[in-house]
Structure 1
Amino acid sequence: MARRLRRRPPANHAQRAEWMRTHPFEWLEVSTYPATYSAHTIARGIRTGDRIEFARHYGPAGAFETRTTSTEDGTTVHARFIGEAVNG
């Protein structure tokens, strides 16, 4: 019988991007996605600052770095800001 995955609330990308901008080079868990392709799509959007709704918070392109890891619940996306820190 298939294992039922626990549903997580959607990631607050605006909040996560702001935190990373004020804590440059520190990795932050963005969210865990049950489907690997979803996690990779999110990670790519963060790196490129695509014009996808969630990714607009991560511009300009190249300002963020991402990594993905497999977990029991799916694939987790971590990101960090590698541009200049924004003074809050």
Structure 2
Amino acid sequence: MGRRLRRRPPADHAQRAEWMRKHPFEWLEVSTYPATYSAHVIARAIRTGDRVEMLRHYGPAGVFETRTTTTEDGTTVDARFIGEAVNG
């Protein structure tokens, strides 16, 4: 039987987005997801400013950068605020 992953509390996206806006260009762990697919969906939604209810704090598109890392517990999503989007 496989190793059972411990359940982590859900990410407080509002708190994380606010912290990143106050600390531009500093990476912050958003959360670790047991499924790689889930981590990549979250990372994409943060980058694109997707209006998914729990991710609405990361808009507009292009103001956050993300990276994913494979860990013992799954896939970790890190993000950082890189500045306001340029309208062009």
Offset, 1:62: 0.2
Q: Does 1:58 align with 2:76?
A: no
* RMSD across aligned positions (CA): 0.7
Question: Secondary structure in 1 aligned to 2:62?
Answer: coil
Question: Secondary structure in 1 aligned to 2:10?
Answer: coil
Return 5+ residue gaps in structure 1 as ranges: none
Question: Secondary structure in 2 aligned to 1:77?
Answer: strand
Offset, 1:30: 0.2
Offset, 1:73: 0.1
Offset, 1:53: 1.0
The equivalent of 1:33 in structure 2 is: 33
Q: Pairwise mapping of residues 70-85 of structure 1 onto structure 2 (< 5 A)?
A: 70-84=70-84
Q: Pairwise mapping of residues 17-28 of structure 1 onto structure 2 (< 5 A)?
A: 17-28=17-28
Q: TM-score, normalised by structure 2?
A: 0.93
Structure 1: 4+ residue segments shifted above 4 A: none
Question: Secondary structure in 1 aligned to 2:56?
Answer: helix
Q: Does 1:13 align with 2:17?
A: no
Question: Secondary structure in 2 aligned to 1:17?
Answer: helix
The equivalent of 1:4 in structure 2 is: 4
Letter in 2 for 1:34: P
Tell me the percent identity: 87
